[in-house]
Amino acid sequence: MSAETHPSVREPLRRPAGLAGFASDWASDQRTFKNVSWGKAMMWIFLLSDTFVFGCFLIAYMSARMSTAVPWPNPSEVFALHIGGADVPLILIAIMTFVLITSSGTMAMAVNYGYRHDRKKTALLMVITALFGATFVGMQAFEWTKLITEGVRPWGNPWGAPQFGSTFFMITGFHGTHVTIGVIFLLIIARKVWRGDFETGKRGFFTSRKGQYEIVEITGLYWHFVDLVWVFIFAFFYLW
């Protein structure tokens, strides 16, 4: 007996194609991101909102720099270090960038080993990533201290446009706060990985379902975002 004549046999539901299918998915009483966990989806939404914040800051920096009538400080002079009797331009910034970009590599390896359920290597690589992040923050603190002792303030600086100090401290400080939070979060998750919380399903903060290491990947998403933002800050502040 065919499906048309037998009342108990039904044809499978077919999703509408194109724009109608897109609207159907978003209007359906189910998760829109069907193959993505809520934790990962919420992290992406947070990163998107944070992108707008950093974008506004960088646009404000460009507006201030292009509209001021006072000459803007030369980055090669402002961010130079006196080494061996000579001023070496941007040497500290180059090291900071290298450290942060390297930390993206160790974080990616940690995610890889996390999905292999290799607890020791995952925890070790996350700690190494956190150490790279802490080193970056330490060098940034040294950079701030150097500029402050040389007279840079949010309301002025000895090299030119007074807007330089306010935009520099605001944007690099906001980014440094993100890195600091990331370092703390990395150490928390690394400790839970090392203890085997994700293998036993031990209850607690940031503990996912038993056998799931997705929180490591979510932490990696945040960390890669922080590294990517630094690339734009590096280009705008130190190379322009």
Which segments within the chain are labelled E, that is strand? 80-83, 86-89
- Higher pLDDT pick, 36 / 222: 222
Q: For 87-113, what is each residue's pLDDT tens digit?
A: 788 899 999 999 999 999 999 999 999
* pLDDT tier for residue 231 given thresholds of 50, 70 and 90: very high
Cβ 127 vs Cβ 191: under 8 Å: no
Cβ 206 vs Cβ 188: under 8 Å: yes
Helix (H) / strand (E) containing 71: none
Q: For 77-86, what is each residue's pLDDT tens digit?
A: 888 888 887 8
Whole-number Å distance between alpha carbons of 198 and 65:
49
Q: For 15-53, what is each residue's pLDDT tens digit?
A: 667 777 666 665 554 555 566 677 888 899 999 999 999
**The pLDDT of residue 232:** 94
Cβ 168 vs Cβ 150: under 8 Å: no
Whole-number Å distance between alpha carbons of 82 and 80:
7
Of 124, 122, 104, the closest CA to residue 113 belongs to 122
- For each of the domains in the chain, give its residue range(s) and CATH number, in order of start: 37-239 (1.20.120.80)
For 178-239, the DSSP string reads: HHHHHHHHHHHHHHHHHHTHHHHT--STT--STT--HHHHHHHHHHHHHHHHHHHHIIIIII
Q: What integer is the mean pLDDT of 175-198? A: 91
